[in-house]
Amino acid sequence: MSETYPPITEHLDDVETARDEGRRKMDWALQHMPILQALREEFESEKPLDGQRIAMAMHVEAKTANLVELLALGGAEVAITGCNPLSTHDDVSAALDAHDNITSYAVRGVDEEGYYEALRATLDFDPTITVDDGMDLVYLVHEEYPDLIDTIVGGAEETTTGVHRLRSMDEDGELKYPVFAVNDTPMKRLFDNVHGTGESSLATIAMTTNLSWAGKNVVVGGYGYCGKGVAKKAAGQNANVIVAEVDSRRALEAHMEGYDVMPMAEAAEVGDVFITTTGNRDVITREHFEVMQDGVLLANAGHFDVEINLEDLSDLAVDQYEARDGVDAYEMEDGRRLNVLAEGRLVNLAAPLSLGHPVEVMDQSFGVQAVCVREMVENGDAYDAGVHDVPDDLDREVAEIKLEAEGIEFDSLSDEQREYMGSWAHGT
């Protein structure tokens, strides 16, 4: 435990009730996580992480908690904190902290100083492995705890924004230990970013506002993996989808998918709901707010709260008030009200009613995280400092566990087919 920053238990009045409630949430999630269940059996009996110390900065809610518990059951000691001040569930954090091998510093709603102190607390614990969602830990290790670099075996990164940061650090020659880009592997990105972000963002926005999608103009900022999921699910709810993109090929993909494509400046005039999914900053700014209709909803599903420029919005507003839980109305001089959800933080995790991605989706992502941590422990020496793709056999291992759990059988290549596919000698 850190000497300078207290764990969750010291922030709560009724620790026992919180632990019970957190446990209940974790048990419900685990029932629907066949991949983590299968890995639990393996990790509990073989203890592949014995002697490891894992620092984690992730969204501390029930699904992540099952990953944390899995790593602890595999023999590791774990110190965890949140990767977003609004996504922590305090009860789950307390349930985790009840383990002998786990200390949780995650507390919902901490200010910026508390957020960074909690990150430092996980590093004060001298980790041998880091598991990040957004790269805050790797950054802090290199900036403030360089002595740890020699003893850290490796790390794993969960999200697109974290992998972008890692890759640019790597290009500058500044990344001093190996990190798996979990985000980029098919078993994560094709499911979590697309279906997870799509389903959970739309569900959260609907629950937070009690409004319908049908017939609305939904403007999706960015047509990457997350944007595709948001667009597809919104279209499935009978919304009219408009895509704003900066990449020509992705703009064309959106067009061929049947969506309207236009610059954000034009979309701003006609949109009813705006959802940003770019990982970039200033996607919606003053010029857009100036032309939006009364009553629009503004939500962000990208990692950081920089996609909707709230400074610009505050500047323009003559009044600001909480219209509903999780909805801040900004009133313009001409009476228009622009409604921001979850303070512009990633809506599917930070809004009061949000539950994050569906459990089944996170089972896959966290299955990949777990096998990556196991791989770093078992074969860490094989990886140089830098960003590494998840080895394909590990990615497939997770897919196969899931298919088996679902009772789904699939075909395999015959020897002749394998030879045919692997040969350049076969022509017409």
Ligand X SMILES: NC(=O)c1ccc[n+]([C@@H]2O[C@H](COP(=O)([O-])OP(=O)(O)OC[C@H]3O[C@@H](n4cnc5c(N)ncnc54)[C@H](O)[C@@H]3O)[C@@H](O)[C@H]2O)c1
Binding residues: 133, 158-161, 188, 192-193, 222-229, 245, 280, 301-303, 348, 357
Which residue is nearest to ligand X, using beta carbons?
Answer: 224
Interacting residues with ligand X (CB under 6 A): 159-161, 192-193, 197, 221-227, 244-247, 250, 277-280, 283, 301-303, 346, 348-349
Q: CA–CA separation, 356 vs 247, rounded Å? A: 28
Write down the least CB distance from residue 254 to ligand X, Å: 9
Output 128 or 193, the one with its CB closest to ligand X.
193
Q: 252 or 403, CB closer to ligand X?
A: 252
Answer for the pair 329, 323: CB distance below 8 angstroms, yes or no. yes
Q: What is the nearest approach in angstroms of ligand X to the Cβ of residue 184? A: 9
Bridge partners (DSSP) of residue 219 are: 242, 274
Least distance in angstroms from the C-beta of 153 to ligand X: 25
Q: Helical H runs in 246-345?
A: 248-256, 264-270, 286-289, 310-316
CB of 363 to ligand X, least distance (A): 15
Which residue, 233 or 303, is less far from ligand X as judged by CB? 303
Nearer CB in complex with ligand X: 99/250: 250
Shortest Å, Cβ 270 to ligand X: 16
Shorter beta-carbon distance to ligand X: residue 75 or 186: 186
Assign residue 358 a region: left if phi > 0, alpha if psi is -120 to 50, beta otherwise? beta
Closest C-alpha to 232, from 263, 193, 205: 193
- Bridging pattern class, strands 386-388 and 178-181: parallel
Q: Least distance in Å: CB of 278 to ligand X?
A: 4
Q: How far is the CB of 86 from ligand X (least distance, A)?
A: 13
Residue 378's nearest CA partner among 389, 363, 394 is: 394
Known binding positions for substrate: 133, 158, 188, 192
Contacts of 41 (CB under 8 A, 6+ apart): none
Q: Which is nearer to ligand X, 301 or 398 (CB)?
A: 301
> Taking a C-beta distance cutoff of 8 angstroms, is the pair 251, 261 a contact?
yes
Closest approach of Cβ 217 to ligand X, in Å?
Answer: 17
First-to-last C-alpha distance (Å) of the chain:
67
**Chain centre distance of CA 395:** 18
Structure tokens at 416: 């002749």
Shorter beta-carbon distance to ligand X: residue 69 or 245: 245
List 286's β-bridge partners, or say none: none
Q: Given the DSSP bridges, would you call strands 297-300 and 317-324 parallel, antiparallel or unpaired?
A: unpaired
Q: Are strands 154-157 and 129-132 parallel, antiparallel or unpaired?
A: parallel
Which two three-digit tokens encode residue 104? 């949780």
Residue number with CB closer to ligand X (134 or 178): 134
Q: Are 294 and 271 in contact (CB under 8 A)?
A: no
| H helices present in 47-135, as ranges | 62-73, 90-97, 112-123
Take residue 74 and report the two structure tokens written for it.
């595999």
Q: Are 86 and 326 in contact (CB under 8 A)?
A: no
Of all helices (H) and strands (E), which one includes residue 299? strand 297-300
Task: Mark the binding-site residues for NAD(+), compressed into ranges.
Answer: 159-161, 193, 222-229, 245, 280, 301-303, 348, 357
Minimal distance, residue 183 CB to ligand X, in Å: 7
Give backbone dihedrals phi and psi of 104, rounded to 5 degrees, phi first.
-115, 125
Nearer to ligand X, 214 or 256 (CB): 256
